[in-house]
């Protein structure tokens, strides 16, 4: 038993000596094993292209209105056969009466493009306009999707503040009557 303890003690001392040697060999101003102690950043891969759906304007009517939507397409590299598709929710239609529109976009040399489109909104509400960008780079197919929110006739009320604190109602009143 004494030899097992002696062997363990020798192994511990050897490990400590090797650690001290590594610490002395580290460059000045840099802790030993700095590469493993530094936080690692994870970066998700993204296609070399971007797509955004933005509301550029709204012509409000008594109920609903006409919204101007801008699809912004960008690319860092040349994309062959780039196609943008926009889809309106079930209640909305584009100015030409369709619910799906498709455009071929010239991104063979990269760059940015904007596509403007009008959307007819039959009634007030919150809607999501979806768009997709597809193409290929060196024979590999790539795809990007985005959505934009269109709010017609609905605006979030600015909350009241008293002495720096924001006040919220527990229940919103739906009529002028107060329920007991």
Whether 10 is covered by a domain: the verdict is no
Whether 163 is covered by a domain: the verdict is no
pLDDT tens digit sequence for 123-154:
888 899 999 999 988 888 988 899 998 888 76
Tell me phi and psi for residue 77, to 5 degrees.
-125, 170
For residue 97, the enclosing domain spans 49-152
pLDDT at residue number 30: 57
Residue with tokens 């802790």: 31
Q: What is the CATH number of the domain that holds 64?
A: 2.60.40.10
pTM: predicted TM-score of the whole model, two decimal places: 0.60
pLDDT tens digit sequence for 76-104:
888 899 999 999 998 899 999 999 999 99
Query: How far is it, in rounded angstroms, from Cα 96 to Cα 117?
Result: 10
User: Across-strand partners of 144?
Assistant: 133
């Amino acid at each position: 038993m004494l030899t097992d303890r002696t062997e363990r003690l020798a192994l511990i001392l050897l490990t400590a000596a090797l650690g001290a040697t590594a610490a002395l060999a580290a460059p000045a101003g840099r802790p030993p094993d700095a590469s493993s102690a530094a936080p690692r950043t994870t970066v998700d891969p993204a296609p070399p292209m971007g797509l955004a759906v933005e509301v550029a304007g709204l012509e409000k009517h008594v109920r609903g209105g006409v919204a101007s939507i801008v699809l912004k397409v960008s690319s860092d590299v040349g994309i062959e056969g780039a196609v943008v598709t926009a889809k309106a929710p079930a209640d909305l239609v584009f100015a030409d009466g369709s619910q799906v529109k498709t455009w071929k976009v010239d991104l063979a040399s990269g760059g940015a493009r904007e596509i403007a489109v009008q959307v007819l909104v039959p009634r007030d509400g919150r809607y999501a306009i979806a768009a997709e960008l597809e193409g290929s780079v060196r024979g590999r197919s790539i795809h990007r999707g985005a959505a934009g929110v269109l709010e017609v006739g609905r605006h979030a009320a600015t909350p009241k503040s008293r002495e720096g604190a924001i006040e919220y109602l527990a229940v919103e009143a739906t009529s002028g009557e107060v329920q007991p």
